[in-house]
Chains A and B, each alone.
Chain A
């Protein structure tokens, strides 16, 4: 299968300051990859290269088989949709609905098709109730979801989300997680730049860790989460479920809530853990 994204020995510098060094990675359709690393590791710069907003100094970024440096950002937008960290940078219409419709219209998507996509994106993020509102009348986290809806309406083959959960509460985070799952199932690749390693461990499978602009880890996120020494060396916080599993030495060392819960229940039932509580029929 042709990769959706392929970075081939990509380097980039702002002025004389190197930001990315010899970065290579391949992302297949339907894959969900967390891009993590310290502040200043080069994560956001990588997204800008993928979106065609910057050009690699050396090396090549291939998006859907196209060299990102040889196509304008608006041409790449037919394949890749990026939601930036601060949604305010990409919302400008008078209503949420118009904003979501802007992308497909700019790409020349026929009106009927565009209307279907817009309705689907608003419904998927449960933004119907606020579709008529001005984006700036919404709280910042809702603006973030509005920008995400705009990206979904582009029907991209690669969805790039920069810090999609920052400032979001649990319910809104669940909406983002659900969107990632449904898009993956439809064959879209998702790249999530995030400091929220707990969200990444729950929702994504693979981690690409950047450190000092270079790839320091590329593999299963569960493997990374089970290695506290490596996490610390990379400036990453051990996600809570992984920390719990390690500290309580839970069998199988689960890193996701739904995997840890039955093990904790079993341990409590056998008197192996403190907080023994009666089951209260929680669903």
Chain B
């Protein structure tokens, strides 16, 4: 069932003649994990802003086409975006991590008991419960990224939008994040994640959308998208395992993960 639908969407930032998105059509269903990949400046972050309902409402600019999101309310509730640089997402209103995580649900106007329960659950899920009483401003980059993730999860979004969510995380933290993404999809959330961690993509995502210069260049399974030589020539490339096969001069389809390379033996 489609949760988010983009129909021929183009978007221009204020004072820019060049569209950041061009004629983008995309559907994402409940329980689905879609990885958004592309070169720097391809429009991945812009697409997330549009999906979050922040562009053009908050960013300004001009949008053509249709965005449908039949979640509960269309002005924020039900969808949440995690920004790539965590301190830019700090509300500045929370003296403790617990307050910071509760900030989102509080703004949704939930009853106090529900806010508290959601915040505790989200902190446990993002493995930051032990930081609950710390001042967010004293955290490391990785800790803060997980706290911001908890703040997003606390709002129990039907549509979860993640922009480079592992940028600040170490190996364990990244693995835990990807597991959490699968859990969220398991409970029925639709997830769109823009990432440069292309090795994680085949393991986590059901579908890969490759954006180039604001357009959808490909929308298919990881094996199909990363098996197209064009994404290696003109785009962000793909998982390391596929790169080994490609560098070896072998023809696609290439295995996209270690598991896949081993399974067919």
Contact = CB atoms under 8 A, between A and B. Distances in A.
Given A40-B140, A167-B196, A244-B261, A275 B170 contact: no
Interface residues of A, number: 52
B84 A39 contact: no
Interface string A134-155: 0000011110000000000000
B185 to A, nearest CB: 22
A173 to B, nearest CB: 8
A247 B250 contact: no
A86 B145 CA distance: 14
Contacts of A207: none
Contacts of A265: 248-250
Contacts of B244: 241, 244, 257, 260-261, 264
Contacts of A262: 248
Contacts of B255: 274-275
A276 B249 CA distance: 11
Number of chain B interface residues as a range: 35 or more
A172 B40 CA distance: 8
A236 B171 contact: yes
B247 A243 contact: no
A206 interface: no
B164 interface: yes
B141 interface: yes
A240 B251 CA distance: 20
B230 to A, nearest CB: 13
Given A235-B171, A258-B247, A282-B246, A142 B199 contact: no
Contact of A142 (B40, B141, B196, B253): B40
B143 to A, nearest CB: 6
Dominant SS at the B interface? loop
B219 to A, nearest CB: 19
Residue of B39, B171, B262 most packed against chain A (CB within 10 A): B171
B173 interface: yes
Contacts of A261: 244-245, 247-249
A39 B245 contact: no
A236 B41 CA distance: 30
B241 interface: yes
B54 interface: no
Interface in B38-75: 38-41
A93 interface: no
Contacts of B239: 240
Contacts of A235: 170-172
9 contacts: A167-B164, A168-B196, A195-B170, A248-B261, A261-B249, A273-B261, A274-B255, A275-B264, A278-B251
Interface of A: 37-40, 44, 85-86, 88, 139-142, 163, 166-172, 195, 197-198, 231, 235-237, 239-241, 243-244, 247-248, 257-258, 260-262, 264-265, 268, 273-282
Interface of B: 38-41, 84-85, 87, 140-143, 164, 167-175, 196, 198-199, 236-237, 239-241, 243-255, 258, 261-262, 264-265
